[in-house]
């Protein structure tokens, strides 16, 4: 990864030097960062970056959580545009980890009609499709953390007008996947319509859909299976403890999202609902048939494929859901809408922003009684033998949050958040309420 960083730096220096040799080169600052342009604007080179300096203090209940200060993200990126083509590379160095974020090529058929290939954000949801530097709170809601998709390697297309935004893509795997076995794939689409676009009022509604085949999670020589143990992991909240659903044996996942956004001068209202349905693996019985502890006598062990679910428990499909709603108020500016991103523009320097949010995230899909480490019927004899129905108890929560943002200028922000999380997780039966105080100094260019 050091080589990636050095390569990016070298490319930037070379391009800067090349453009700098032109006496009439131009230097400017835009949403893409610091821009250098050739005299006729044939080539534009941008340098962008960000720093998140964070502190978090937990008012924990029973389970101890780690309050700390950190540099949660440091990024450096480069964009180069020539004519209708644009390429971008963005690398993160936060928390002592190095990973590639954006790495893509865009072709502008028109300024509002764009093709993209590479590693980029899948178009799903309102918060999930927005850059972290433009979110209203420090980090996304628990609903978006759990169900948001992030980036994937693929090809996409987006189109927008003053009232319509549409984006779709086909994706195959992710940059960070190094597991053995077949990669996953997905198709994701987002549509947003803004029936009212006025100076004093903007109203947007939208929906997103994603069909996903999870990544393989290794190779099993016993089962001769490179499709091994695909799983869907949904996590959110403090240290991913109280909201954590690991759905094993996943065949595919379908996600739907509905969003709305209202901007009325200095007031903001925003909300999303997301639902996930995971279909479990058809090879479940085949996997079980290759298993069998030696201490069971033959008459007690399942003898036909139909016997296995009754012995191990049904591998049922899993449905989970979440929603949030938030309201905001600006002191010193008014909210404005960006049709090219279907999101909100950053307020002007010197503006204060006050927000409140209610989040309800449910990662449980439980059928039956919990006993002896599994969910099943009230038949304790069956439960004692280990029979369960493969329910998922990822936990659920209700969270109320408040935030204050101060936009010093176009590049520096001060943020302060406080949240109270009502915890309901069978794996943490003694925890009831967790308080979270977050602060961030954010720098971006």
pLDDT (tens digit per residue) in 320-336: 999 999 999 999 999 99
pTM of the model: 0.86
384, pLDDT greater than 70 = no
Dist. CA 342–CA 230, nearest whole Å: 33
More confident residue, 314 or 16: 314
Q: What is the pLDDT, as a whole number, of residue 362?
A: 98
Q: Taking residues 196-209, report their average pLDDT.
A: 95
19, pLDDT greater than 90 = no
Nearest Cα to 344, choosing from 259, 254, 241, 218?
259
Strands (E), 202-266: 202-213, 231-236, 243-248, 250-264
- Which CATH number describes the domain made up of 188-444? 2.40.160.10
Q: What percent of the chain stands above pLDDT 70? A: 76
Q: What is the pLDDT, as a whole number, of residue 367?
A: 78
Dist. CA 257–CA 60, nearest whole Å: 32
pLDDT per position as a tens digit, 24-60: 557 666 666 677 777 677 788 888 899 999 999 999 9
165, pLDDT greater than 50 = yes
Q: What is the pLDDT, as a whole number, of residue 249?
A: 80
Q: Where are the domains of the chain?
A: 188-444
Dist. CA 370–CA 363, nearest whole Å: 16
Q: Taking residues 365-391, report their average pLDDT.
A: 64
Residue with tokens 């250098």: 36
Q: Which residues of 175-197 are buried (b: 16+ CB within 10 A; e: fewer)?
A: eeeebebbebbbebbbbbebeee
7, pLDDT greater than 60 = no
More confident residue, 249 or 406: 406
Min mean pLDDT across 130-134, 173-177, 211-215, 322-326 is at: 173-177
Q: What is the pLDDT, as a whole number, of residue 22?
A: 47
348, pLDDT greater than 90 = yes
Residue with tokens 């300096």: 53
pLDDT per position as a tens digit, 253-304: 999 999 999 999 999 999 999 999 999 865 555 555 455 544 444 445 555 5
Q: Taking residues 106-134, report their average pLDDT.
A: 96
Q: Taking residues 71-75, report their average pLDDT.
A: 93
What is the rounded average pLDDT for all residues in the chain? 85
């Amino acid at each position: 990864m050091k080589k990636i960083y050095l390569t990016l730096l070298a490319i930037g220096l070379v391009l800067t030097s090349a453009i700098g040799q032109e006496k009439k080169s131009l230097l400017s600052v835009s949403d893409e960062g610091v821009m250098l342009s050739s005299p006729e604007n044939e080539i534009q080179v941008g340098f962008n970056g960000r720093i998140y300096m964070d502190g978090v203090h937990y008012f924990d209940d029973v389970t101890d959580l780690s309050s700390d200060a950190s540099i949660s993200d440091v990024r450096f990126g480069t964009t180069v545009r020539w004519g209708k083509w644009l390429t971008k590379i963005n690398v993160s160095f936060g928390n002592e980890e190095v990973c590639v974020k954006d790495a893509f090529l865009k072709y502008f058929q028109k300024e509002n009609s764009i093709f993209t290939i590479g590693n980029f954000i899948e178009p799903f949801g309102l918060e999930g499709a927005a850059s972290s530097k433009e979110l209203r709170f420090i980090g996304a809601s628990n609903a978006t953390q759990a169900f948001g998709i992030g980036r994937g390697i693929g090809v996409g297309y987006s189109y927008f007008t003053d009232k319509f935004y549409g984006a779709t893509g086909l994706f195959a795997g992710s940059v960070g996947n190094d597991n053995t076995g077949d990669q996953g794939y997905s198709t994701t689409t987002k549509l947003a319509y803004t029936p009212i676009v006025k100076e004093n009022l903007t109203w947007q509604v939208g929906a997103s859909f994603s069909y996903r085949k999870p990544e393989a999670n290794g190779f099993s020589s016993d089962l001769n299976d490179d499709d091994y143990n695909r799983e869907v992991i949904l996590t959110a909240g403090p240290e991913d403890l109280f909201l954590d659903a690991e759905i094993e044996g996943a065949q595919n996942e379908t996600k739907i999202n509905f969003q709305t956004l209202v901007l009325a001068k200095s007031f903001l209202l925003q909300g999303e609902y997301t639902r996930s349905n995971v279909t479990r693996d058809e090879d479940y019985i085949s996997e079980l048939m290759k298993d069998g502890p030696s201490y069971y006598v033959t008459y007690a062990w399942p003898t036909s494929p139909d016997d296995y679910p009754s012995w191990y428990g049904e591998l049922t499909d899993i449905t989970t859901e979440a929603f949030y709603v938030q309201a905001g108020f600006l002191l010193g500016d008014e909210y404005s809408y960006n049709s090219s991103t279907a999101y909100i523009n950053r307020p002007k320097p010197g503006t204060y922003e006050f927000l409140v949010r209610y989040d309800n995230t449910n990662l449980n899909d439980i059928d039956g009684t919990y006993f002896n480490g599994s969910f099943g019927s009230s038949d304790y004899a069956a439960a004692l033998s280990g029979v369960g129905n493969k329910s998922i108890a990822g936990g659920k929560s209700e969270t109320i949050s408040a935030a204050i943002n101060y936009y010093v200028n176009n590049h520096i922000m001060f943020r302060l958040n406080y949240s109270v999380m009502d915890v309901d997780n069978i794996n943490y039966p003694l925890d009831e309420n967790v308080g979270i105080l977050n602060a961030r100094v954010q720098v971006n260019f």
